[in-house]
Structure 1
Amino acid sequence: MDAFREIIGVVSVFVLPIMLVGIPLYGLIKRVPVYESFVEGGKEGFGLAVRIIPYLVAILFAIGMFRASGAMESLATLLSPVLALIGMPAEVLPMAIVRPLTGSGSVAIVADLAAQYGETSIITRMAATMFGSTETTFYVIAVYFGAVGVSKTRHALPAGLIADVSAMLFAVWMCLLFFG
């Protein structure tokens, strides 16, 4: 197990630099105008950002009200016996609830947990692993489907939520395996 952790540690140091160099090189090999494509994507991203601001404000407001009302803590307390069965601390539940809704809200939760429990605590590691292994499903469906004019999401929402729940459970179990 220690050898596996060392290998993962070494590989993780090189992943980002390889991607930062490898992706543009691949584009150059395929004769894609890399810089021009990047700039065009940036222009499109800015327009999209302006269109999605109302959705972001609504999601962040709803989450803020849910947390400020104390409902999040009450729900965590209520579900703590069930969460204990799967090995998930109740303190991580807010991350599981907020992550499918918003990325920035889930970043705030990870930051709060890190400040409260420390960066190396199992609680913070679980929340951070959930952050990295799940998607903002409702945000993606609202923004991207809305941007292209899709009104019927059909199976996208259930599939996205099933993937999120699976990733969250896997994150809990992997953190318990590696850090528990």
Structure 2
Amino acid sequence: MFNYLLKSIIPIIAGIVITYGMIRGRKVYEWFIEGAKEGLMVCLSIFPYLLAMIIVIRIFRDSGLLNIINNFLRPITSFIGLPSELVPLVAIKPLSGSGALGVLTDILKQYGPDSHIGLLASVIMGTTETIFYTITVYFGAVKIKKIRHTLLAAVSADVFAIISAIFFVNLFFGKC
């Protein structure tokens, strides 16, 4: 019974909204069409930014820049306790959630989800943000050109999330 209720919650909410709008004498269908048009216009306005991000991410992965970054950051990552196997995840996550998901999948296939690297990768994946993707899409959609302190705050939050992930995975799970 509960499972059925969970699967039907969205249609129930939609039915309640439509019924309430009809009882109140509102033009529910016209408002729906107007909202759909606005949604389509938002999709069209952010498409160029999405396309640019997809191309940049593809170039980033295919050019081998990920390996260069891994080698360059090795002294820092070893100092904070981040395994070098996770540098590609940390490097790609600010750019693309789907790209990071692909890297995470590769990590979990290679090391296993219950390994130290797998646990740490999972926590990092869940606590960090797709910074550049989010800034590009959302700021671009509303035509904001100067992001001011957004990038610094977002990168600081990601660095803190990564360091916290290392600390808490080591605290609760040790070296698996």
Q: Is this a same-fold pair by TM over 0.5? A: yes
Q: Which one of the candidate residues 160, 165, 176 is aligned to 2:170?
A: 176
What is residue 121 of structure 2 aligned with on the other side? Answer: 127
Preserved CA contact (<8 Å) 2:128 2:161: yes
What is residue 77 of structure 1 aligned with on the other side? Answer: 71
* Runs (4+) off by over 6 Å: none
Q: TM-score, normalised by structure 2?
A: 0.71
> Which sections of structure 1, spanning at least 5 residues, go unmatched?
1-20
Aligned pairs (5 A) from 1:151-170? 151-170=145-164
Preserved CA contact (<8 Å) 1:98 1:105: yes
Instruction: Provide the C-alpha distance between the structure 1 equivalents of 2:84 and 2:95, rounded to a whole number of angstroms.
Output: 19
Q: CA deviation at 1:56?
A: 2.6
Q: CA deviation at 1:54?
A: 2.8
What is residue 136 of structure 2 aligned with on the other side? Answer: 142
Preserved CA contact (<8 Å) 1:133 1:168: yes
Q: Which moved more, 1:46-55 or 1:137-146?
A: 46-55
Instruction: Provide the C-alpha distance between the structure 2 equivalents of 1:92 and 1:123, rounded to a whole number of angstroms.
Output: 7
Q: CA deviation at 1:70?
A: 2.1
Q: TM-score, normalised by structure 1?
A: 0.69
Instruction: Provide the C-alpha distance between the structure 1 equivalents of 2:165 and 2:146, rounded to a whole number of angstroms.
Output: 31
What is residue 57 of structure 2 aligned with on the other side? Answer: 63
State the structure with more CA Rg: 2
Instruction: Provide the C-alpha distance between the structure 2 equivalents of 1:114 and 1:59, rounded to a whole number of angstroms.
Output: 25
Q: CA deviation at 1:123?
A: 1.7
Give the aligned length.
Answer: 151
> Which sections of structure 2, spanning at least 5 residues, go unmatched?
1-8, 22-27
Q: Which amino acid in 2 is paired with 1:74?
A: I
Q: CA RMSD in A?
A: 3.0
Preserved CA contact (<8 Å) 2:86 2:117: yes
Residues 109-156 of structure 1: CA deviation (Å, up to 9, x unaligned): 111111121122222222221121111111221211222232221111
Higher relative contact order (CA 8 A, sep 6+): 2
